[in-house]
C-alpha cells in the first residue's frame, strides 16, 4: 500500500521517549521529519533507524531550546520551510520537589523551556500555516495542567499554560484551516521521570502508561478531531462535561458590580 506524503513534521524533544515514538508513528503515516533535541548522537541513531524502516526523509537539528540562539535556529526553520505541515511541541522538563525544596533558578529554566520556547515556536509556525491554509499543532501538556496539586507547582502551572494556550489557538485558528490538539498524558514510562528525580519504576505501575500506548492514543484522538486528548481518562464524557461547565461558567464572569457576597454591609 502506498502512503501519501503528508508534508514535514517538526518534533521537539525528539531523540527519545514520547518524541521519538511520535517520529516513528508519523514517518509511518507518510510524514518527512525534522527532529529537534540536544543530543545529536541520539538524533543520528534515530534517523538511521527511521530511514531504514520507512524510507522517509529525516533531518536533524541539534538545539537546546533553553538557549536563545539555538531556539532562534528552530524558529527560522519553522518560518522558512514551506514543507512543514505539523509542529509537535513535545520538549519539556518537570519536577517533583515542593516549593520549599526547589531551586528557583531551575524553576525559571522550566518556564523557559515549557512555556517560552513552546510559545515562540508556535508563533514562528503559525503565519506560514495560515498562509498555506493548513497545518497541525500538537502541544504536549499534562494532567497536572488540571490537577495542579499532584506535583511541583511550577511544573503544573507551566502545563496549565500549555492547555490554556491551546484553547486560545483553537479559538483563533480553527477557521483558518489549522488544527490544534493539546495532549494531557498522565504518568508515562519515559526517562522524563528520572530527570525529574522520581523514576517511574518507583510508582504504582497501575497508573503508569507505556509511552507507545500514550502516543498511539494521542494520534487516535487527533484522527477523531479531539481538541484535548487525555489518554488515561477512561470515560470521555467526563471531559465533555468538565469543558461544558468551564465554558458555561466563563460566560458568567462579566458584570459591572461585584457579587452580593462582596458588598459592604
| Residue 255: inside a domain | no
Give residue 195's pLDDT: 62
27/191: higher pLDDT: 27
Paired sense of beta strands 84-89 and 135-140, if any:
parallel
Residue 186 pLDDT > 80: yes
155 is catalytic: yes
**Does the residue 213 lie in any domain?**
yes
Judge whether 1 lies within some domain.
no
pLDDT of residue 95: 87
Provide the residue count of the chain. 265
- Contact yes or no for 174/200 (Cβ under 8 A): no
Could you give the CA distance from residue 138 to residue 29 in angstroms, rounded to a whole number?
A: 16
In a domain, 69, yes or no: yes
In a domain, 145, yes or no: yes
Q: Environment class of residue 120 by beta-carbon count within 10 Å: exposed (0-12), middle (13-18) or buried (19+)?
A: middle
22, 31, 123, 155: the active-site residue:
155
- What confidence score (pLDDT) does residue 81 get? 98
Q: Is 135 a residue whose pLDDT tops 70? A: yes
Confidence of residue 4 (pLDDT cuts 50, 70, 90): confident
The total number of structural domains in the chain stands at 1
Give percent of the chain above pLDDT 90.
83
pLDDT of residue 9: 98
Q: What is the mean pLDDT of residues 112-131?
A: 98
For the chain, the first-to-last Cα distance in angstroms comes to 75
Q: How many CB atoms lie within 10 A of CB 176?
A: 13
Residue 49 lies in a domain: yes
| Rounded Cα–Cα distance for residues 73 and 103 (Å) | 29
| The pLDDT of residue 231 | 96
Q: Which residue has the higher pLDDT, 196 or 36?
A: 36
Q: What residues make up the domain containing 231?
A: 8-237
Q: What is the pLDDT of residues 49-98, one digit of tens each?
A: 999 999 999 999 999 999 999 999 999 999 999 999 999 999 999 888 88
Q: Which residue has the cell 530511514?
A: 51
Torsion of CA 95, 99, 101, 105, to 10 degrees: 70
Distance CA 17, CA 3 (A): 25
For residue 198, is pLDDT > 70? no
How large is the average pLDDT for residues 171-178? 95
Q: Summarize the confidence of residues 166-173 as an average pLDDT.
A: 97
* pLDDT of 150 over the 70 cut: yes
Check: CB of residue 164 under 8 Å from CB of residue 206.
no
Residue at 246 is within a domain: no
Instruction: Check: CB of residue 186 under 8 Å from CB of residue 209.
Output: yes
Residue 260 lies in a domain: no
Average pLDDT over residues 11-37: 97
Strands 58-62 and 32-37: parallel
Question: What is the signed CA dihedral for 31, 225, 116, 151, rounded to 10 degrees?
Answer: -110
Q: What's the CATH code of the domain at 194?
A: 3.40.50.720
Q: Where are the alpha helices (DSSP H) in the chain?
A: 17-28, 40-54, 68-80, 104-111, 118-132, 153-173, 192-196, 211-223, 236-250
> Helix crossing, 211-223 with 17-28: angle to 10°?
50
Amino acid at each position: 500500500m502506498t502512503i501519501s506524503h503528508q508534508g514535514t513534521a517538526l518534533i521537539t524533544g525528539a531523540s527519545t521517549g514520547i518524541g521519538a515514538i511520535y517520529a516513528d508513528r508519523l514517518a509511518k503515516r507518510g510524514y518527512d521529519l525534522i527532529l529537534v533535541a540536544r543530543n545529536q548522537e541520539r538524533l543520528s541513531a534515530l534517523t538511521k533507524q527511521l530511514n531504514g524502516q520507512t524510507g522517509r526523509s529525516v533531518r536533524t537539528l541539534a538545539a537546546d531550546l533553553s538557549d536563545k540562539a539555538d531556539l532562534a535556529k528552530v524558529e527560522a526553520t519553522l518560518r522558512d520551510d514551506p514543507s512543514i505541515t505539523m509542529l509537535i511541541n513535545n520538549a519539556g522538563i518537570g519536577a517533583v520537589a515542593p516549593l520549599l525544596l526547589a531551586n528557583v533558578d531551575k524553576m525559571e529554566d522550566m518556564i523557559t523551556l515549557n512555556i517560552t520556547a513552546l510559545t515562540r515556536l508556535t508563533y514562528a509556525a503559525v503565519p506560514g500555516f495560515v498562509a498555506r491554509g493548513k497545518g497541525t499543532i500538537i502541544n504536549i501538556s499534562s494532567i497536572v495542567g488540571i490537577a495542579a496539586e499532584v506535583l511541583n507547582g511550577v511544573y503544573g502551572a507551566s502545563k496549565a499554560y500549555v492547555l490554556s494556550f491551546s484553547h486560545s489557538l483553537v479559538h483563533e485558528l480553527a477557521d483558518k484551516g489549522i488544527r490544534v490538539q493539546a495532549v494531557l498524558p498522565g504518568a508515562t514510562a519515559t526517562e522524563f521521570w528520572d530527570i525529574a528525580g522520581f523514576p517511574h519504576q518507583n510508582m504504582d505501575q497501575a497508573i503508569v502508561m507505556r509511552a507507545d500506548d500514550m502516543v498511539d492514543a494521542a494520534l487516535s484522538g487527533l484522527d477523531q478531531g479531539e481538541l484535548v486528548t487525555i489518554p488515561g481518562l477512561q470515560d470521555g464524557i467526563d471531559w465533555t462535561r468538565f469543558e461544558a461547565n468551564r465554558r458555561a461558567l466563563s460566560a458568567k464572569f462579566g458584570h459591572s458590580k461585584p457579587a452580593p457576597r462582596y458588598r459592604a454591609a
